[in-house]
Amino acid sequence: MVAKILFSFSVLLFFLLHCSTTLAQGPAAAPAPPGPTNVTKILEKAGQFTVFIRLMKSTQEDVTLNGQLNNTNNGITIFAPSDSAFQSLKSGTLNSINDQGKAELVQFHVIPTYLTTSQFQTVSNPLTTQAGSGDRFQLNVTTSGNSVNITTGLTNTSVSGTIYTDGQLAVYQVDKVLQPIDIFTPKPPAPAPAPETAKKKKAKAAESPVVPKDVNGAERFIESNNMVFFGVGIVTAILSL
């Protein structure tokens, strides 16, 4: 009898222990889904990109980039100039650019392709940016060891650090603002009109209408003068008598 009680107790104890262990080892909670990618928040977290963030927001390029990242599978690479990079520009440079120029300046820092640092070794120059490519927006990338160099025709700099990378978005720090020739090169003034040559002046004179002479008036003038001379001659003859 005692043996049966002990056996039953043992079975019950085993069952309780087994259940508690099974409950304790229940399925782990799934990780929370990642939030949508936000370029400006990434830059804010990194710090020292205040001016670039302000430019992105004022031109609404941040909305465009976030939409591309969250609604498509397209990759993006951003060269983010630090605040010190903007401070090194000539005073008043940004204020001298109109709204379209500011939008194109931000777009010039964005490559519509995800690029790792190793992929910079095999890219074809000039790179196509969100602003375009070719003569208006020249962006060339070369590598030397682990260094990634960037030239625009006006700017020569290199990537100084990786801010963020997730397989779709790559953000790299640059310590100079990438200046496209199309925006930062003064436009030549309109050419002055060419001076008229002697040949053109002669042609214009030939084309001018000829005013006909008043022949009758000239004859009346001559006749009047003759009468005056005749009268003076008579008076002189009378006085000489």
pLDDT given for residue 227 in this prediction = 57
pLDDT tens for the chain, 241 residues long, are 544 544 454 544 444 444 444 333 333 333 334 578 999 999 999 999 999 999 999 999 999 999 999 999 999 999 999 999 999 999 989 999 999 999 999 999 999 999 999 999 999 999 999 998 777 788 999 999 889 999 998 999 999 999 999 999 999 999 999 999 878 775 555 565 666 666 666 666 666 555 555 545 555 544 555 555 555 455 455 555 5
- Angle, helices 61-71 vs 99-108, to 10°: value is 40
SS (H, E, C) the chain: CHHHHHHHHHHHHHHHHHHHHHHHCCCCCCCCCCCCCCHHHHHHHHCCCHHHHHHHHHCCHHHHHHHHHHHCCCCEEEEEECHHHHHCCCCCCHHHCCHHHHHHHHHHCEECCCCCCHHHHCCCCCCCECCECCCCCCCEEEEECCEEEEECCCCEEEEEEEEEECCCEEEEEECCCCCCHHHHCCCCCCCCCCCCCHHHHHHHHHHCCCCCCCHHHHHHHHHHHHHHHHHHHHHHHHHHC
pLDDT given for residue 133 in this prediction = 75
pLDDT given for residue 29 in this prediction = 36
Give all domains of the chain, ordered by start, each with its CATH number.
39-183 (2.30.180.10)
Q: What's the pTM?
A: 0.64
pLDDT given for residue 203 in this prediction = 64
Q: Which residues neighbour 136 within 8 Å (Cβ) at sequence distance 6 or greater? A: 180, 181, 182
pLDDT given for residue 182 in this prediction = 77
d(C-alpha 44, C-alpha 49), whole Å? 7
